[in-house]
Amino acid sequence: MKIRLIPVLFFKDGNLVRSENFDLHQILGDPFTQVDRYNSWNVDEIIYLDISKSKNYEIKNKINFKTKSFFDVMQRASAKCFSPMVFGGGIKNLTDAQSYFQNGADKICINTIALENLEIISELANNFGNQSIVVSVDVKLVNNNYKVYNAKNEKIYDYDLLNFIKLIEKKGAGEIFLNSVDRDGNGCGYDIDLITKVSKSINIPLIPCGGAGQFKDFKDLLNSTELTAVAAGNLFNFTERSYEKAKFYLKNEGFNFR
C-alpha cells in the first residue's frame, strides 16, 4: 500500500501564505506558481485551502491576477495540474460544492459547516460520494486535553474528540484531514500521540498535518502509527526540490511511496 505525501497550500486574500499557529500569515507568493512547481514534482495530491477571513477581499499580488471569486483562482490553479487537487474554504451547501467540482476540484474539504451541522456531511456524501468529501478537523490543546477548534470564530468546542471524529466518519466523510493547531508552522514534529489515537479510532483514511520541520518527522510519525497519507505545508514551501528529496529519503528508509 503506497503512502501519499501531500503538500498543503494556504490561500489568503490573493496570495499563498505561510501559516503559524493558524495565526501569523506571511506571504509566500502568487496563487499559482507553487501549484505549477508541485505538478512538475509529480506530487501525490495537493490540498489547497482558502483561509481568507472575508470573501470580499481585495486581491493584491505581483502577477496582477484580480478576481473576487475563489472559483477563478481554482480554475486557473488546476488548469495545468494533473495531480489530484482537494479544494476547500467556505463551502456552505450543495450548490457551493457543485461549483467546486465544476471549477477544478477532485475532492472538497469542509470544516466550519461540518462543525455547525454534521448532517451536511451526509448530504454531500449522498450527492458526490463519500470518497470525495474530506472533513478537516483542527485540534488545539486546552489544559492538556485535545479540543476541536473552529479557526473561523476561534471557538473551542467541548466535544470528546475521538467520538466527534467517529461521528464524522459515520455521517459519510471519506477522509479526515487532521490539523494540530499548536504545531502548525512550528516544525517541531508531528503530535504523534494525537495522530495515533485518531488513526486507531477510524477506518477511513487519515491525513495528519502540522509540525513537520524535517524529513525525520515523517519517519518518526510513520514508524509510530500505520498511515496511508501524511501532509505538510511549510516544509515543502521553503526548500528547493524538497518534495522529491523527502520521497527519496522515505523510500530509502523502507517506506512504500510512489
Partner 1 sequence: MVKVGIINTFTSNIQSVINAITVMGFKNFETLNSYDDYNSSFSHIIFPGVGTFESNMKIIIDRKIDRIINEAFDNDLYYLGICIGMQVLATNGKENGNHKGLNIIKGSVQKLSVSNYRLPHIAWNEVDITKNDKLLKEINNKESFYFVHSYFFNANYDKNIVGITNYNNSFASIIKRNNFYGVQFHPEKSQVQGLRIIKNFLDLK
Minimal distance in Å, beta carbon 258 to partner 1?
Answer: 5
d(CA 177, CA 63): 31
Please identify, using beta-carbon distances, which residue of 66 and 129 lies nearer to partner 1.
Answer: 129
Interface of this chain with partner 1, residues 118 to 177, rule: CB under 8 A: 126-132, 174-175
Q: Which stretch binds partner 1 (CB under 8 A): 22-30, 49-57, 81-89, 138-146?
A: 81-89
| Grid cell listed for 163 | 467520538
Among 107, 140, 171, 183, binds partner 1 (CB under 8 A): 107
106 counts as catalytic: no
44 binds partner 1 (CB under 8 A): yes
37 binds partner 1 (CB under 8 A): no
Residue count, binding to partner 1 (CB under 8 A): 38
Interface of this chain with partner 1, residues 202 to 221, rule: CB under 8 A: 203-205
Please identify, using beta-carbon distances, which residue of 102 and 223 lies nearer to partner 1.
Answer: 102
Matching residue, cell 508531528 = 190
Minimal distance in Å, beta carbon 84 to partner 1?
Answer: 4
2 binds partner 1 (CB under 8 A): yes
Cα dist. 210→77, 127, 188, 232 in Å?
Answer: 23, 31, 9, 6
Minimal distance in Å, beta carbon 206 to partner 1?
Answer: 8
Its sign, for the CA torsion 216, 220, 223, 226, is negative
d(CA 71, CA 101): 10
62 binds partner 1 (CB under 8 A): no
Among 80, 92, 155, 241, binds partner 1 (CB under 8 A): 80
At residue 118's C-alpha, the angle toward residues 116 and 121, to 5°, is 120
Please identify, using beta-carbon distances, which residue of 154 and 226 lies nearer to partner 1.
Answer: 226
Cα dist. 107→45, 49, 148, 187, 188 in Å?
Answer: 10, 12, 23, 27, 29
**Position 32, amino acid:** F
Secondary structure element (H or E) that encloses residue 62, with its range: none
d(CA 93, CA 170): 19
Listed as own residue / partner, the contacts of 252-258 with beta carbons closer than 8 Å and 24 or more positions apart are 253/219, 255/3, 255/219, 255/222, 256/1, 256/2, 256/3, 257/2, 257/3, 257/5, 258/2, 258/44
Minimal distance in Å, beta carbon 57 to partner 1?
Answer: 23
| Active-site option among 13, 44, 50, 138 | 138
Residues at the interface with partner 1 (CB under 8 A): 1-2, 4, 42, 44-45, 75, 78-85, 98, 101-107, 126-132, 174-175, 203-205, 228-229, 258
